[in-house]
């Protein structure tokens, strides 16, 4: 079984690290030569987001499983434009597309699931919905869309941010969201590959929580004082960061548990941070 990865980023690399032995051949794309060098000895091609080389297209067409983790741009989706025909007419029995729970928009803290109507509020999540639909129109039931919560894991977590002095406790009353450990995403990808049919699933933890609580918990693990609370209204934030706080929702993961056999290794941020601290993160 061959795997082809479009956008060999943080999550895709972790999936291959944990589950790569299931594949006879792993190939994929990155945008920079430096990133390709970091991924050696994996068989990685350069893809600049415009035109894919003929040899790269052939790898996409020959793959039994395609994992798409590259985000869409503001216009046409580079992955769909460059690889859509090769994947549609190729041998892939499953295409796993990593999307975001941002497609649901703001629900003022209410619980939502996969049956909740999509209401993307910003250009980048509107693009996600468009690309989800375009891939679905092309390949139908071969498509598995995983809508991810806030990703954290080794090297990318509140412990690291605190140690580096970058963590802030920005407080917006009532604000909550779900997270997901990258290892649990890897398990969900594996479950989506093994399932006979595609679909749409929320890949999130069991405990939507205020972002300031996560920072405070990490600080307790480290035995340091947490950074002071900063009211959201007076916080200096980039437009992207501010848009992140615009959506307030609690997301259910019951369908992923049932359909994909997903058993969370880290059902809340507490278990996730405990394990990362024990592994030496943030020290």
Does residue 83 lie within any of the structural domains?
A: yes
pLDDT digits (tens, 9 = 90+) for 87-133: 999 999 999 999 999 999 999 999 999 999 999 888 888 999 999 99
- Domain, as residue range, for 100: 2-154+178-207+250-265
- 200 belongs to a structural domain: yes
Q: Is residue 7 part of a domain?
A: yes
Q: CB count, 10 Å around CB of 151?
A: 20
CB 178 within 8 A of CB 208: yes
Number of separate domains in the chain: 1
0.85 exceeded by pTM? yes
Distance (Å, whole) CA 9 – CA 62: 21
179: nearest Cα among 143, 201, 158, 207:
207
User: Is the bond preceding 13 in cis, omega lying within 30 degrees of 0?
Assistant: no
Convert the pLDDT of each residue in 40-71 to its tens digit.
Answer: 888 999 999 889 999 999 999 999 999 999 98
Q: What is the CATH number of the domain that holds 187?
A: 3.40.50.720
Residues of the chain with pLDDT under 70: 74-75
Token couple for 96: 């796993």
**What local confidence, expressed as pLDDT, does residue 73 receive?**
76
């Amino acid at each position: 079984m061959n795997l082809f990865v479009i956008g060999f980023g943080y999550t895709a690399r972790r999936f291959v690290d944990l589950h790569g032995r299931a594949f006879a051949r792993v190939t994929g794309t990155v945008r920079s030569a430096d990133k390709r060098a970091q991924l050696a000895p994996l068989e990685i091609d350069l893809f600049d987001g415009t035109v894919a080389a003929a040899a790269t297209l052939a790898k996409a067409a020959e793959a039994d499983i395609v994992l798409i983790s590259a985000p869409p741009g503001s216009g046409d989706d580079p992955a769909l434009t460059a690889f859509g025909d090769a994947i549609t007419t190729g041998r892939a029995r499953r295409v796993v597309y990593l999307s975001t729970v941002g497609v649901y928009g703001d629900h003022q803290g209410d619980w939502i699931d996969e049956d909740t109507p999509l209401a993307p509020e910003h250009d980048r999540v509107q693009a996600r919905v468009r690309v989800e639909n375009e891939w679905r129109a092309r390949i139908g039931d071969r498509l598995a869309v995983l809508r991810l919560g806030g990703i954290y894991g080794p090297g990318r977590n509140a412990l690291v941010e605190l140690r580096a002095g970058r963590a802030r406790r920005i407080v917006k009353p009532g604000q909550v969201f779900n997270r997901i450990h990258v290892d649990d995403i890897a398990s969900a990808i594996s479950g989506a590959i093994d399932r006979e049919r595609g679909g749409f699933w929320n890949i999130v933890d069991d405990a939507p929580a205020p972002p300031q609580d996560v920072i405070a918990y990490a600080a307790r693990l480290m035995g340091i004082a947490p950074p002071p609370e900063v009211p959201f209204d007076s916080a200096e934030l980039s437009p992207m960061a501010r848009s992140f706080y615009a959506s307030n929702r609690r997301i259910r993961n019951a369908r992923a548990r049932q359909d994909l056999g997903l058993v969370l290794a880290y059902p809340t941020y507490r278990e996730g941070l405990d394990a990362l601290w024990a592994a030496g993160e943030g020290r």
